[in-house]
Chains A and B, each alone.
Chain A
Amino acid sequence: MTLELALVIAALLFLIGMALIILRRNLIFLLLGIELLFNAAMVIALAGGARWHSVTGQVLVVFMMALSGAALALTLALLLRVKQELGGDTVDDLRQLREEVDE
């Protein structure tokens, strides 16, 4: 029963993270949603490790923490850069890839 509830919590976290990514316009909330997605994956890995009495689940979670931290540091640096260059921190400011040619 514990493992099933853990999987339910993971599904809930994944749904909330997806909803944050899809619904919110602010880029900070988008990054919070990505962290929630990572946490849902971590819950599933730990539930698997607990189910089969294996240490591999915890090892996977440790690496996932390092990966999400690295991704977040890079993305926050990019976010600050976006704020400097485009003057906003919402998804709507990221509509274009090419540089704007005025003349």
Chain B
Amino acid sequence: MTIFLILLLLLIILTTGAALLVVRDPMHGAVNLGVSLLALSILFLVLGAPFVAALEVMLYVGAILVLFLFAIMLLRTPLTIREEPRWRRGFWWPAVLVVLLTAVLILLFSRRPDLMVLIQEIGPGTVGRALFGPYLWLTEAVALLLFAVIAAVLAIHRRDDHDA
């Protein structure tokens, strides 16, 4: 049963990746990437990493994808409002994606105990003890790096005022 689930995930990643290669609108690309990331989080759960799976949903779908949406909105060329019938065009692809994700959910919740037979699950507690034990200096370095990135982004936009 786990094999079916992983094959389904592979199918989702393949189709959304192929869609990423052909779509024209960046917003459609962001939606396809989001579905691909959701499938990846299920894959992380199967690989015995529930903490990373939760982080994938929260960080990637919740933060990075929203960052992409903001950037697309800010970059967008002036809107041309197209009148098109709501239910005819552009509806079938999201429907396919929703059906695939629903199939993943059904597979995941119907045979849950099967998943953890092969792979030993490593929970959040162990990860936390590793992060704040032997890797504490690295965690602090990442904090410093994020602060530096904030400063750099502010610096990039500060030059604007001097130029203008």
A and B interact: yes
Interface of A is mostly: helix
- Establish whether residues B135 and A78, one from each chain, have CB atoms under 8 Å apart when the complex forms: no
Contact A68 B49, beta carbon cutoff 8 Å: no
Q: CB distance A55 to B122 under 8 Å?
A: yes
Give the residue name and chain of the A residue nearest to B146 (CB).
Answer: A70
Contact with B along A42-74 (1 / 0, CB 8 A): 110011011001011111011101111110111
Cross-chain contact A77 with B130 (CB below 8 angstroms): no
Question: Is the pair A80, B145 in contact by a Cβ cutoff of 8 Å?
Answer: no
The interface size of chain A toward B, counting residues with CB under 8 Å, comes to: 55
The answer to whether A58 touches B63, judged by C-beta atoms less than 8 angstroms apart, is no
Report chain B residues within 8 Å CB of A1. 3
How far apart are the CA atoms of A5 and B118 in the complex, in Å?
13
The answer to whether B48 touches A50, judged by C-beta atoms less than 8 angstroms apart, is yes
Are B43 and A6 in touch, CB under 8 angstroms?
yes
Q: What are 15 A-to-B residue pairs whose CB atoms are below 8 Å?
A: A5-B10, A16-B18, A23-B21, A35-B60, A46-B49, A49-B47, A49-B122, A50-B119, A55-B122, A55-B130, A69-B64, A72-B64, A78-B156, A80-B75, A81-B160
